A and B are shown apart, each in its own frame.
Chain A
Amino acid sequence: MLTEIVCPNKLFFSKDVDFVILPGAEGDFGVLNHHSPLISNLRSGLIYIYIENKIINIFFIKQGVCQITQNKCIILTERAEETQDIDLSDEKIDDEEYLKLKKTIINKKYYN
């Protein structure tokens, strides 16, 4: 299943993967190959990407929308980041709301 995360300024991620967990507007959901066509809003949150039952990437996104067709999963978001690259202590981000959101969500992830 081709999964793409697209931001306004670039194609952020594009890869053939097995399984994706998305932060849907009404709760997280997983997408496998041959999912029924779906268009959904996404909350700010984490996207987990699996290949062969292993998480290979965890991305943080700031809201968005996704379109799922037979074997394609397209995620449009304003901002996306690889969680491993996120260094919460030294941020030069002007967007305070975004930073706060990121902090809570990422802390929660480690907490779980």
Chain B
Amino acid sequence: MPSLKDLRNRISSVKSTKKITSAMKMVAAAKLKKAQDIAIDARPYTERMKSIIESLKNNLLTEFPTPSLISGTGKNDTTLLIVCSADRGLCGGFNSSVIKYSKKVVKKITKNGGKVSFMFIGKKAGNAMKKEFKNDTLDIFSEVANPTIDFKLVQKIRDKLIQYFNENYFDRCFLIYTKFKSAISQEVVKTQIIPLKNESDSSDEKRSYDFEPSEEEILQEIVPNNIATQIFTGLLESLASEHGARMTAMDNATRNANDKIDDLTMFYNRSRQAVITKELIEIISGAEAI
């Protein structure tokens, strides 16, 4: 049985842990609000971009020699996965679910005889997976969201990506990120960003657009921009999810700490009373003996 002093020490240590977790929860909540606002503000651009890309795709001429960023290299040998995770831990299952999901994707690809390589944005997933896939890791970007995600930085990542593509490092590219649903629910998803064309695409809407200057030039301009936009949106969602996950995790931790404090305090009081009772019994029985 622990002594009263031990119990007191434990209670005070749990109390200080609780202070930390509740402070972290507050910080995460404030950051979540901000990240959410930014993600919502960024939505119109993504939507418009998507609609333009859709119209372009539906109007592509078949004899038109499409650049490989659009139609791909014609093979599916190597797949590049861009994995978005956090730079910091203490956010519940956020990072581990990204890692788990990525490993599942890798398994699926390698099962069909494909190869994978990686680009990590956020060092948590990078650190966890670089041992296993040491030779396949092209880049690890960290501190991307410091203080906010800058579109220019995303463009730099995009440029690197395109450079790798042009050097034939990979044939197609998936972005794996965590989609923000609410503060308590997030979902890891993957989207294909290279090539632009998907097998499952259907061209229902046909509207004859005029192009200025030419379709090819517009595509050359807009396709890299679209890649950057997709990465940007993914990162914004991922950041919001991270803060949401952290907030929930810290909320749980605070609640657990409260429960623990209650239990310990109860136990402490019981033991204290037991000690007093014991002393009284000793005194009384001592007096009776005389």
Contacts and interface: CB of A to CB of B under 8 A. Distances in A.
Interface of A: 4, 6-11, 24-26, 36-41, 63, 65, 67, 69, 74, 76, 78, 95
A70 to B, nearest CB: 9
Q: Is the interface of A mostly helix, strand, loop or mixed?
A: strand
Given A6-B44, A8-B42, A65-B218, A39 B52 contact: yes
B210 A9 contact: no
B64 interface: no
Contact of A37 (B45, B48, B210, B213): B210
A39 B152 CA distance: 24
Contacts, number: 76
A67 B211 contact: no
A69 B48 contact: no
B75 interface: no
Nearest to B155: A78
Interface string B128-155: 0000000000000000000000011000
Interface string B214-249: 000110011001000100100000000000000000
A65 B229 CA distance: 14
Given A40-B212, A69-B207, A74-B48, A10 B218 contact: no
B52 A8 contact: no
Contacts of B225: 65, 76
Contact of A38 (B41, B51, B210): B210
8 contacts: A4-B44, A11-B41, A36-B210, A39-B209, A41-B213, A63-B221, A65-B218, A76-B45
A25 B219 CA distance: 13
Contact of B51 (A10, A11, A36, A67): A67
B151 A65 contact: no
Given A39-B55, A39-B56, A26 B212 contact: yes
A25 B217 CA distance: 10
B212 A41 contact: yes
